[in-house]
Amino acid sequence: MHFIKKRNCSMKRTDNLKSIRKIDLSDMASLLSDFPQQCEEGVKIGQDYKLSSSLKNFTPSVILFSGLGGSAITGDLIADLVREEVKFPILTNRDYTIPNFVNEKTLVFVISYSGNTEETLSSYQEVLKRKAKIIVISSGGKLTELARSNKILPLGIPGGFPPRTALGFLFFSAFTLLQKLNLIKDRGKETKETFSSLSKLKEELSPDMPFERNQAKKIAEKLKGKIPIIYASNRLSAVAMRFQTQLAENSKQFSSRNLFPEMNHNEIMGWNNPISSLKKFLVVFLKDAGDFPRVKSRMKITQSLIADYPAGILELNTRGESVLSRNFSLLYLCDWISFYLAICNQIDPTPVERITLLKKKLKNL
């Protein structure tokens, strides 16, 4: 009876538009609803950007994305998407410094949505010294100023968004540039399918869609009061990371993630103690039709081996034909789940006070 009572409370809260607006004071719901359109705008921004002549016919030995938080995930998503296509590594750098291999044969995307991320500003200066090819993506700030002073045309995107909600601009502009540079194959057909899928999901997952027909609301209700443990294959590593960070920033809820097959070589043994704490965990498997066959088998066996320990096990599957559409369909679902979990937790999903406070304290050092 107690479980049913809690469930009904969550159902009423996520279906009550007035209640949602009282909690979602910064209107994160609208930003999520606008995501499909934002992705389309990101493509146009990339298409309209005038590439430097030094980038034409340039084949890098490595592509490096340098950024933090919502600005960095673009590199991870692109690496997952083209891992079986490109013949050079695509890596993401989240630090004040850059790897020693960066040189004139490296293409570096320096991304800071605000343009004021101190780690990214620091790494940008190092990239300049190494004489790497540079593409700067930002909405303004110090990074844009520095790029212009160094005669680098920044790719400008609209400002005024929380960085994590600007992914459509950041990802699709960079993804489009890689196609323009002929570093990855044309993804026009896959992009069109992705936009169509996201538009459909927007309707299925919106606050107007009632609980009984809204997958995101149902999953959020199950996650309330639990510690999500996210498992995925390497194909969905970036989507898993995005889900974890969205749970942290939007839902203000702690979670953990690991990947297959690696977790089968260590973490699987952790499902023993402390037993009382394990019952507070809820496992979420992120699955894709393109997962390696042996990985699929490992996931299935792992579920059976740990089934008695967590509070429950959920499966979330990608949908669509292309890898781009599949990955973004699941990412968008997870974004909405994090939103509804914030509503269940009765906390505004937009503010990130602790991050803001940390930055203020750093400035005072």
224 residue type, one letter: K
Active-site choice (126, 218, 249, 252) = 249
Decide if 56 contacts 101 (C-beta within 8 A): no
Q: Which of 353, 283, 339 is nearest to 13 (CA)?
A: 339
Active-site choice (18, 87, 151, 265) = 265
- Residue 127, helix vs strand vs coil: helix
Two tokens at 64?
């490096």
Can 249 be counted among the known catalytic residues?
A: yes
Give the Cα separation of 15 and 10 in Å (integer): 8
Q: Which of 112, 94, 109 is nearest to 62 (CA)?
A: 109
Can 204 be counted among the known catalytic residues?
A: no
Question: How many other CB atoms sit within 10 Å of the CB of residue 234?
Answer: 16
Give the Cα separation of 68 and 131 in Å (integer): 22
Q: For tokens 């890596």, what's the residue?
A: 91
Can 359 be counted among the known catalytic residues?
A: yes
Give the Cα separation of 96 and 68 in Å (integer): 10
* Residues recognised as catalytic: 249, 265, 359
